[in-house]
Chain A
């Protein structure tokens, strides 16, 4: 379970998150919705331990989010992926295999095949969507308990989006993977997320507040 208690984060004078509290139960697919600049990606980075909160605390299975033991169970997939200029899908797999004990190279190769990606081709020669597919495959095959996805559907065509949806759902159901997805694609979130949260100007809104806002 991911517990977020009174998290605040400022960037200079801009209050990005203001005492946000949230609980994401284990084994659920949680969708986080909000307009641009609402603080969705920042919240994800805080959970992943990239950023440090100004106030409040985040716990993953009772451990501090920044602790290695907690981070070992979390795979964070940011909106924009970083990779070496000479990286191929295969080297990406090898990279994550070093850090996640449960990473299955066999499954990874299988998923690359499903997506139709050449494991030895340069990532730089791929389209935005194809790159994302390679990283989604790595994320799923890392076999962590938690998966944090920032704009996971961005750049994917409808067919691949469906495949990704199915993969995420089967992972969530099959091995109780907890998935937190930040996205603008409300339809996709409606399709796969068991629960949803609404972030607006640094605060979590209720369903009613969100509906009124829309």
Chain B
């Protein structure tokens, strides 16, 4: 024990540089925070005390990478390896000393700094003790787990590769490889199977297998939620996975450290298996990228012969490049012929696997299997993000049967051809969710009115319909040319919301296709609960009445402004070899009042032309309208589009 303590002490002394850097960095973070005098409106507390603090997250990742890489520096110098391996210790003891010291070096200043942050935050009134306490402790624990995880990845890269460049490359592969690979697989699923939208299993794999995603989900660094609102239940599975990953990596590194030869090998990698791992991982990533890229350039659906040709021609090139990279020798371009055969086989197998798995997603489930479903038409951009929409909508019971029948009748599982609209569907089945994509033929678009009129669809699509309180919101109105924040009390805001909700309920799909919005209402949260926006259509009589009651000229169109001049830009599209080029063909300034009056009647603010696929505008012409503001003092300009 005494000798092991001595080893810990000597190892600690050799890391005094990183110790000083960490304490200095943490100290500076505390100092800067304590000098913060005010919180900007709406700033959230998790940025200070919760696990989602971006500064601490960055420190954790950086420290993990550096300390993981520096743990067994002695392996890089022969005399140092002679010294350490010659000492009376087992390799397990040497590993344990480095690992424990790293944990201690990071965890101590980090935890102290986070607790100090909490004290400062309490003293300054940024946080309340009871509601933030759990978040604070998790803010200490999660980054420490994350540190062990990142350190493990960095350590593994250093144990497996023999020089700095390859260590960095291997680390990048560990960190980003799984995420990149899964995204490529997802893209290919989309190309190969017309009805593939996304798979829950892939989402799950992307979240858990991609180290960066796992780290950010476990800590909640992307959420920007209030520290008090950091919910353990939402992060628990990721934290458990992170802890599991950290433990597994530590044990795996221990095994590798114990079996790793002390001497340098002639290869760039310590073990032949590591070289194979790199070779085939890079090959699959690059091969999938190549296949996916070429499919995209063909502007059509998936073609099996093209994929085959890509593999047959692409793999030999990739093989040669990999040979050169792995051996760091350009002369090795043509070598390892058996690997070439294996690589072609592996890539074909991967593609066949993707084709088979992707093909399954195209089948429409039986009605009896479906518990609920959600439908989104991305062309309806005014309804918001399709992904959010699918998560919010729940069509059940009788409505479900009607929608299902309608879909069987109208929608098709085929490649997009000409005038058709994408339709995204989420089926909630007994065994989990299934996402599909169908194509609604252009001539049948009017039939979507049946779905649109459903209460469930509107509830899921329009977030304003889901709002029940406007307590912590302020209301903003804009028509693209003017913008006002309405000075309303809570009751007045509630009345405006009720009027808007009534109008929304009466909105038809035909109105969306024929009428362009007059303006937009934004319910802006003052407590970071998320903003809610909604467009005001010309038929929204109740909303327009309430707004005019508060002095907003909500019916005002472009033609109602005093227009000084209009600049018309005419664009033409030229077909290129790979993509189309849009260029300015002509510019014209219109100053004649009569011409302006005529033209203004057909102009719509570009900001409000959201549903351009459903309600088309002339995209070949852009208009910059110079108009006088309400006071008539200054000239402003706004971009407009002309109706067809």
> Which residues of chain B are within 8 angstroms of A95 by Cβ–Cβ distance?
10
A174 → B minimal CB distance (Å): 23
Contact B88 A72 (CB under 8 A): yes
CA–CA, A71 and B90, complex, Å: 9
B108 → A minimal CB distance (Å): 22
State whether the Cβ of B85 lies closer than 8 Å to any Cβ in chain A: yes
Contact B261 A76 (CB under 8 A): no
A201 → B minimal CB distance (Å): 19
What sequence of 0s and 1s flags, for each residue 25-60 of chain A, a beta carbon within 8 Å of any chain B beta carbon? 000000000000000000001001111100000000
CA–CA, A74 and B263, complex, Å: 20
Contact B88 A71 (CB under 8 A): yes
B493 → A minimal CB distance (Å): 68
Known A50-B82, A80-B78, A82-B80; contact A99-B88, beta-carbon cutoff 8 A: yes
State whether the Cβ of A100 lies closer than 8 Å to any Cβ in chain B: yes
Specify which of A49, A50, A84 is in contact with B14 (CB 8 Å cutoff). A84
Q: In this complex, what residue of A is CB-closest to B259?
A: A52
Contact A11 B263 (CB under 8 A): yes
CA–CA, A171 and B18, complex, Å: 42
State whether the Cβ of B81 lies closer than 8 Å to any Cβ in chain A: yes
A61 → B minimal CB distance (Å): 14
CA–CA, A193 and B498, complex, Å: 103
Contact B6 A99 (CB under 8 A): yes
State whether the Cβ of A155 lies closer than 8 Å to any Cβ in chain B: no
> Which residues of chain A are within 8 angstroms of B89 by Cβ–Cβ distance?
68, 71, 99
Size range of the chain B interface in the assembly = 20 to 34
> Which residues of chain A are within 8 angstroms of B263 by Cβ–Cβ distance?
11, 51
Known A12-B265, A68-B90; contact A99-B7, beta-carbon cutoff 8 A: yes
CA–CA, A100 and B88, complex, Å: 8
B75 → A minimal CB distance (Å): 11
Name B's interface SS.
Answer: helix
Point out which of A11, A48, A99 has the most chain B C-beta atoms below 10 A from its C-beta. Answer: A99
CA–CA, A19 and B224, complex, Å: 65
B131 → A minimal CB distance (Å): 48
State whether the Cβ of B247 lies closer than 8 Å to any Cβ in chain A: no
State whether the Cβ of B489 lies closer than 8 Å to any Cβ in chain A: no
Specify which of B6, B10, B82, B93 is in contact with A76 (CB 8 Å cutoff). B82
CA–CA, A100 and B85, complex, Å: 14
Count residues on chain A whose CB falls below 8 Å from chain B CBs: 25
> Which residues of chain A are within 8 angstroms of B22 by Cβ–Cβ distance?
none
A33 → B minimal CB distance (Å): 21
CA–CA, A10 and B476, complex, Å: 77
> Which residues of chain B are within 8 angstroms of A12 by Cβ–Cβ distance?
265-266
What sequence of 0s and 1s flags, for each residue 76-88 of chain A, a beta carbon within 8 Å of any chain B beta carbon? 1010111010000
Contact A50 B3 (CB under 8 A): no
Specify which of A11, A82, A98, A101 is in contact with B82 (CB 8 Å cutoff). A82
Q: Which of B71-90 contact A (CB under 8 A)?
A: 74, 77-83, 85-90
B90 → A minimal CB distance (Å): 6
CA–CA, A80 and B77, complex, Å: 11
Contact A52 B261 (CB under 8 A): yes
Contact A99 B3 (CB under 8 A): yes
> Which residues of chain B are within 8 angstroms of A100 by Cβ–Cβ distance?
88
> Which residues of chain B are within 8 angstroms of A68 by Cβ–Cβ distance?
88-90, 93
Contact A82 B77 (CB under 8 A): yes
Known A98-B6, A98-B9; contact A71-B87, beta-carbon cutoff 8 A: yes
Contact A76 B3 (CB under 8 A): no
Q: In this complex, what residue of B is CB-closest to A73?
A: B88
> Which residues of chain B are within 8 angstroms of A99 by Cβ–Cβ distance?
3, 6-7, 87-89
A16 → B minimal CB distance (Å): 10
> Which residues of chain B are within 8 angstroms of A51 by Cβ–Cβ distance?
261-263
Q: In this complex, what residue of B is CB-closest to A12?
A: B266
State whether the Cβ of B13 lies closer than 8 Å to any Cβ in chain A: yes
Contact B7 A81 (CB under 8 A): no
Contact B88 A78 (CB under 8 A): no
Contact A50 B262 (CB under 8 A): yes
Contact B79 A50 (CB under 8 A): no
Contact A82 B83 (CB under 8 A): yes
Contact B78 A98 (CB under 8 A): no
Contact A49 B86 (CB under 8 A): yes
> Which residues of chain B are within 8 angstroms of A81 by Cβ–Cβ distance?
79, 83
Known A12-B265, A78-B79, A80-B79; contact A50-B86, beta-carbon cutoff 8 A: yes
Specify which of A48, A71, A84 is in contact with B13 (CB 8 Å cutoff). A84
CA–CA, A71 and B6, complex, Å: 16
A199 → B minimal CB distance (Å): 18
Contact B6 A82 (CB under 8 A): no
CA–CA, A101 and B9, complex, Å: 16
B332 → A minimal CB distance (Å): 16
> Which residues of chain A are within 8 angstroms of B90 by Cβ–Cβ distance?
66, 68
Contact A48 B86 (CB under 8 A): yes
> Which residues of chain B are within 8 angstroms of A72 by Cβ–Cβ distance?
88
A90 → B minimal CB distance (Å): 14
Q: In this complex, what residue of B is CB-closest to A66?
A: B90
> Which residues of chain B are within 8 angstroms of A11 by Cβ–Cβ distance?
263, 265-266
Point out which of A52, A72, A81, A97 has the most chain B C-beta atoms below 10 A from its C-beta. Answer: A52
A19 → B minimal CB distance (Å): 19
B261 → A minimal CB distance (Å): 7
Q: In this complex, what residue of B is CB-closest to A75?
A: B86
CA–CA, A71 and B7, complex, Å: 15
> Which residues of chain A are within 8 angstroms of B10 by Cβ–Cβ distance?
95, 98
A211 → B minimal CB distance (Å): 32
> Which residues of chain B are within 8 angstroms of A101 by Cβ–Cβ distance?
3
Q: In this complex, what residue of B is CB-closest to A71?
A: B88
CA–CA, A164 and B627, complex, Å: 98
Q: Which of B1-50 contact A (CB under 8 A)?
A: 3, 6-7, 9-10, 13-14
A173 → B minimal CB distance (Å): 25
> Which residues of chain A are within 8 angstroms of B93 by Cβ–Cβ distance?
68
A48 → B minimal CB distance (Å): 5
Contact A78 B82 (CB under 8 A): yes
List 7 A-B pairs, minimum CB-CB distance, nearest first: A98-B6, A82-B79, A76-B86, A78-B82, A71-B88, A50-B85, A72-B88
Question: A50-B86, A80-B78, A84-B14 known; 5 other A-B pairs, CB under 8 Å?
Answer: A48-B82, A48-B86, A78-B82, A82-B74, A82-B83
| 6 residue pairs A–B, Cβ–Cβ below 8 Å | A48-B85, A50-B85, A51-B262, A68-B89, A82-B80, A99-B3
